[in-house]
Structure 1
Amino acid sequence: MGDPTTAAQKDKYVAVIDQEKVTDEVRDIALKYDPLNQAGRDEGFHLTDNGELHIDDEAVIEEHRIVANKIPNDAIEIVRLPAERGELVHQFGDNGFRLYELPGPAEGRVVGLLGPNGVGKSTALGILSGSLKPNLGDSAVDPGWDTIVREFRGTAVQTYLEQLRDGAVRTVYKPQRIDRVHDQYDGTVAELLGERDERGACDELLERLDLSALADRRVDNVSGGELQRVAVAATLVADADTYLIDEPSSYLDVDQRLTVARTIQEYTEDSVALVVDHDLITLDVVADTVHVVYGEPAGFGVVSRPLSTRRGINQFLEGYLRDENVRIREQAIDFLRDSTRYADHRTDTFEFPTLKTSFESFSLRIEPGTLREGAVLGILGRNGLGKTTFAKLLAGILTPDEGELGTDVSVSYKPQYLQPAFEGTVEELFASHLGVHSQPYETDLWQSFDLDSLSERAVSDLSGGELQRVSIALALGRDAQLYLLDEPSAYLDARQRTAFGATLRQFVTRENVYCLVIEHDLLLLDYVSDQTMVFEGDPGTRGIGRSPRPVHHGINRFLQTVGVTFRKDPTTGRPRANKPGSQKDREQKSSDNYYVV
């Protein structure tokens, strides 16, 4: 069979121009080599009255790619856009990012949005929240709400936009970057929720999301996983018509992700809810329907028609939306591949003895273990059991009360929480920490994490996913023997997680280094790990790090501790959480087989 896209479909193209990168050289090349200008036509690249480089979307043709290929610094990109893909909803300035179509809100149903970073999911939430008024593609004109509503006549979106126009919709929004809550509120958790509680649900949600012990703690003193649950609770206590929830799973363990997903379902059952999440397990549980959002990151995004959750996730992974006959990705994201486990002939090891440490109200004991050269040790367990503390002990940031790490190894550590404190560009960050002739410039790490597109961006302006990519590349770029990566998948989309997993395995094998990865994404952890180390105990009070075990044995033991079972999706092979108490759940628990993949 050939490509599913029909030959009759004619592609069209748009130009995305980064005006900040447009130099005199860029202008000269664009004007000189534009095929329309060379043919004596006047609709090609030209300068506006204020000196900006511009071309009308209708004038862009495939041959303009030749111009873009001659342009340095990716100042101009020619993006192929499938024809007839719905209504242009919003555009950010001339030749800026454009969003086509909107997800359809549905009362009493949770609508999921799934797609790569940078294709407009948060933009769609902004429009549906009322904080961003769509301009229908003309940033210079306010089309008016009546015109906007008419563009969506006959759709579920029309009714919602009418209510938004009339002020009849009250919305509440949970942002993606929950770490910024620290800067916005300085009271306690109970005070934050109490101030927002319009449903009398504060105490119930504190208990439901396992936050009761944190009620009197100041918000700026709670961890990332705790802060994520606080942010979800602060959203759900509001009495709103529409709940917009952006990435609720980041920093949460598997048990907490499923609890949050089911809590969102329950507390929005009489309202409209839209949830963006890259964790497929969370989205599978929380969403009743799914819109796939695809396109060219930072160029354009298209919102698909609604699909059932299972079909939407599977078609996203396949890279082909069957009902719309659109190929959104050249290759499928495949969960059937087995990672390459470490070779037996590698004998160099890094051993750690029994380690003990304690704080005011928490104690941690680490059982002895071994890290093998050229292999990855995956760390998993519930939050609050000391996984990050263990990494800090290995990194020398903390000193154990008992036990001693006898072998000195150089360590590169990527922390759990990302702080964009550096004042300068991404390129300057790498140069200051690694030097211009350092490892990232001598290997493919820079390309693997697509940092060329970020090199001139200020670190403080990066999104969560962009900052994560920079942090991972920076950690792997350091010359070290032991690499410690704490929750590297946070804010990365599904494609970026797959690419990261492949890059990490190649890097660790090629460089013959030791690597430890703390991760809550079971799909990623299963793929990258050669062994697993499970943390057990009483969260926030007592943690035990068990000795390393085979991968599936470790994941199965962890799932036993949280009482969750997974089965394999027959189409894609991805793990799916069983519904608690279902026949499949009971069967797997009775056979102590919690992870059937």
Structure 2
Amino acid sequence: MNSRDQKYIAIIDQDKVTDEVRNIAVKYDPLNRSGHEGFHVTEDAELHIDDVNVMREHKLIEKKIPNDAIQIVPLPSETGQLVHQYGENGFRMYDLPIPEDGRIVGLLGPNGIGKSTVLRILAGELVPNFGTTIGDLDWNQAIEAFRGTTLQTHLERLRDDSVTISYKQQRVDSLHDANAETVRDLLVAHSDDPDRFVDDLDLRSIRDRSLADLSGGERQRVAIGATLSADADLYLFDEPSSFLDIEQRLSVAQTIRSHVQETDAAALVVEHDLATLDLLSDAIHVLYGEPGGFGVVAQQLAVRTGINQFLDGRLKEENVQIRRNSIDFPTAGERGVQYGDPVLDYPRLEKSFEDFSLTVESGQIHTGESIGIVGENALGKTTFVKLLAGSVEADERTVLDEVTVSYKPQYITPDSDETVRERFTAVADLHTQSFTRRIQDPFELEPLYDRSLGSLSGGELQRTGIALCLARDADLYLLDEPSAFLDVSRRVSLADKIHQFSKQTDHPVLVVDHDLFVIDRVADRLIVFDGEPSRHGRASAPQAMRSGMNAFLASLEITFRRDERTGRPRVNKPGSQLDRKQKSSGEYYYSG
């Protein structure tokens, strides 16, 4: 890329802007000197410049400004070794992460930035073309490109077929194996010791079940078990937390870590759940660029440093701004939670089925509040909502306040060839200002309108499903796992939009999710489910975030702290000094 094409933005710390800073910025701005508008002072005395006008020459002003009040930072550009390009004008991938024996390297970045491409190259499924389509591709070209680096050895072993790779793909909605019909068959096909991980991953009770009859979470655990069962030099995991509840995510992370350390194998993991990624990884590569355009693998960082710089939106060592805004983690208290009038006042409820029973403690749901619902899988969360909606009757018939419920299910399956526009037209008037402001614009629907539901990616389908749920006319909204298939930035953005929707409309929104970052950001209060999965569940009354999270995490014997700089929740290592200290004080969810 020509240096003249490099784009920059100005980061202005208004708290550090003094009269001296204003005068220097306005006086020495090359745009102002040439009769155009550069740095200027607004009516409220803030220093400002439009992003589109910032250029490299503004770095001269940055050097003159005291106290780092202004920083001129480059936006992502194509840099490093071009490793692979899809077609003449297709997506371009720059640089590769380096597998390390006995360590797990995490890959963190938005969807469409090349994480799966990186895994396919390191797995030997994709031979890098280095931007050319001339001649036959072979690994010798790749070896020569990375000669003298640690990556050279891995590429030589790929060429010589002397490295064993075990690869868990991103999609586990169907597990295909020509020689396997059951879970046991699949595990036997991958290992001489098929029972090695059945207890660690809670697979014993489903070993004889058909692969076609597994739930999403069961498919994920089976896929991870089959991957770990193989005697491999390199393990690759693409989004191992999808469909798993919180306890399962942390258990899977511990199982993968233990195996990699015991075998001294190398591992790479792509993961959007930051708690899981934090617990899993020994180091982090942030990937940045332009989704669908190009991706760059940044240099390796320590786990905490890498995640925090990703959240900041700026990679200091690369001197690049990867996102215009930082991602922060305000607590419910910082949001100033205020409860409106009760929308639903429900009594204690019980519901029994042949093999499962649910007890619901009495509670109230108020206007304009967002309620998080947490708990293991198979504890009756969906049954709870159906009881409130009246589509399922309690054992002792109870007359509840009449409420209508709009529901987004956990799994979204496009069941027709209709377009996104046609589906929304059936539930809402697309031409009203209210729809445009609350649904269309926040959820970026306009580019999707003329596409069929079946053509949408997992993330696009999830976004559409959430927007459809909120577009319906209802008293109460329930979103089941809205974070699935979404990257970190999109999860944060949607959590904020869901919370904003409940405040703008005064309609309560209930959110079931296993990503604690999403719950931490969206929820004003919590309903906690406990019990014995598939046997008995109990739903608590809605309660304050702090007490609810303490109760939930205590049942899992897991403690969280908040990162001192970003405020993000982080899992404490079991048995660590901080873990023991928080457990002894009963503060499993440290909100300070």
Partner secondary structure for residue 443 of structure 1: helix
From 234, 240, 247, the counterpart of 1:255? 247
Cα pair 1:414 1:484 within 8 Å, conserved:
yes
Q: Deviations over 1:256-312 (max 9, x none)?
A: 111101111122232221100011110111111110011111111111111111111
Mean Cα displacement is larger for which, 130-139 or 534-543? 130-139
From 202, 207, 210, the counterpart of 2:202? 210
1:304 corresponds in structure 2 to 298
Please state how far the C-alpha of 1:561 moved relative to its aligned partner: 0.2
1:236 corresponds in structure 2 to 228
Is 1:319 matched with 2:298? Answer: no
AA aligned opposite 1:100: Y
AA aligned opposite 2:338: A
Give the number of aligned pairs: 523
Q: How does 1:299-448 map to 2 (within 5 A)?
A: 299-336=293-330, 338=332, 340=335, 342-344=337-339, 346-404=340-398, 406-434=400-428, 436-437=430-431, 441-448=435-442
- Alignment partners' CA distance in 2, 1:321 and 1:474: 36
Mean Cα displacement is larger for which, 354-363 or 452-461? 452-461
Please state how far the C-alpha of 1:554 moved relative to its aligned partner: 0.2
Cα pair distance change 1:450/1:154, threshold 3 Å: farther
- Alignment partners' CA distance in 2, 1:237 and 1:106: 20
Cα pair 1:395 1:413 within 8 Å, conserved:
no
Partner secondary structure for residue 478 of structure 2: strand
Partner secondary structure for residue 543 of structure 2: coil
Unaligned runs of 5+ in 1: 1-7, 14-61, 64-79
Q: Deviations over 1:460-489 (max 9, x none)?
A: 233322221111111111122111101111
Cα pair distance change 1:455/1:206, threshold 3 Å: same
- Alignment partners' CA distance in 2, 1:159 and 1:521: 37
Please state how far the C-alpha of 1:431 moved relative to its aligned partner: 3.4
1:520 corresponds in structure 2 to 514
From 470, 474, 485, the counterpart of 1:480? 474
Partner secondary structure for residue 155 of structure 1: coil
Cα pair 2:75 2:320 within 8 Å, conserved:
no
Cα pair distance change 1:356/1:186, threshold 3 Å: farther
Q: Deviations over 1:139-160 (max 9, x none)?
A: 4554432122211222222221
AA aligned opposite 1:175: Q
Cα pair 1:136 1:143 within 8 Å, conserved:
no
From 565, 568, 574, the counterpart of 1:571? 565
Q: How does 1:53-202 map to 2 (within 5 A)?
A: 82=76, 85-139=79-133, 141-181=135-175, 187-198=181-192, 200=193, 202=194
- Alignment partners' CA distance in 2, 1:183 and 1:243: 19
1:227 corresponds in structure 2 to 219
Q: Deviations over 1:492-529 (max 9, x none)?
A: 11111111111111111111112111111222212211
Please state how far the C-alpha of 1:349 moved relative to its aligned partner: 1.9
1:500 corresponds in structure 2 to 494
Please state how far the C-alpha of 1:205 moved relative to its aligned partner: 1.1
Cα pair distance change 1:411/1:85, threshold 3 Å: same
Q: Deviations over 1:40-60 (max 9, x none)?
A: xxxxxxxxxxxxxxxxxxxxx
Cα pair 1:341 1:529 within 8 Å, conserved:
no
AA aligned opposite 1:300: F
Cα pair 1:409 1:481 within 8 Å, conserved:
yes
The alignment's TM-score, normalised by the length of structure 1, stands at 0.82
Cα pair 1:439 1:479 within 8 Å, conserved:
no
Please state how far the C-alpha of 1:128 moved relative to its aligned partner: 1.3
Please state how far the C-alpha of 1:186 moved relative to its aligned partner: 7.7
Mean Cα displacement is larger for which, 295-304 or 404-413? 404-413
AA aligned opposite 1:241: D
Please state how far the C-alpha of 1:547 moved relative to its aligned partner: 1.2
AA aligned opposite 1:538: E
Please state how far the C-alpha of 1:81 moved relative to its aligned partner: 7.2
- Alignment partners' CA distance in 2, 1:479 and 1:390: 21
Q: Percent identity?
A: 50
Cα pair distance change 1:343/1:247, threshold 3 Å: same
Q: How does 1:13-32 map to 2 (within 5 A)?
A: none
Partner secondary structure for residue 173 of structure 1: strand
Cα pair 2:563 2:569 within 8 Å, conserved:
yes
- Alignment partners' CA distance in 1, 2:492 and 2:172: 24
Q: Deviations over 1:187-238 (max 9, x none)?
A: 332232223224x1x3231111122222233333332222221221121112
From 510, 525, 528, the counterpart of 1:534? 528
Partner secondary structure for residue 99 of structure 1: strand
Please state how far the C-alpha of 1:534 moved relative to its aligned partner: 0.7
Please state how far the C-alpha of 1:396 moved relative to its aligned partner: 4.6
Please state how far the C-alpha of 1:432 moved relative to its aligned partner: 4.5
1:73 corresponds in structure 2 to none
AA aligned opposite 2:129: N
- Alignment partners' CA distance in 1, 2:177 and 2:475: 36
- Alignment partners' CA distance in 2, 1:517 and 1:409: 17
From 534, 547, 552, the counterpart of 2:541? 547
- Alignment partners' CA distance in 2, 1:440 and 1:129: 49
- Alignment partners' CA distance in 2, 1:187 and 1:403: 43
1:265 corresponds in structure 2 to 257
1:246 corresponds in structure 2 to 238
Please state how far the C-alpha of 1:182 moved relative to its aligned partner: 8.0
Cα pair 2:76 2:288 within 8 Å, conserved:
no
AA aligned opposite 1:305: Q
Please state how far the C-alpha of 1:422 moved relative to its aligned partner: 2.6
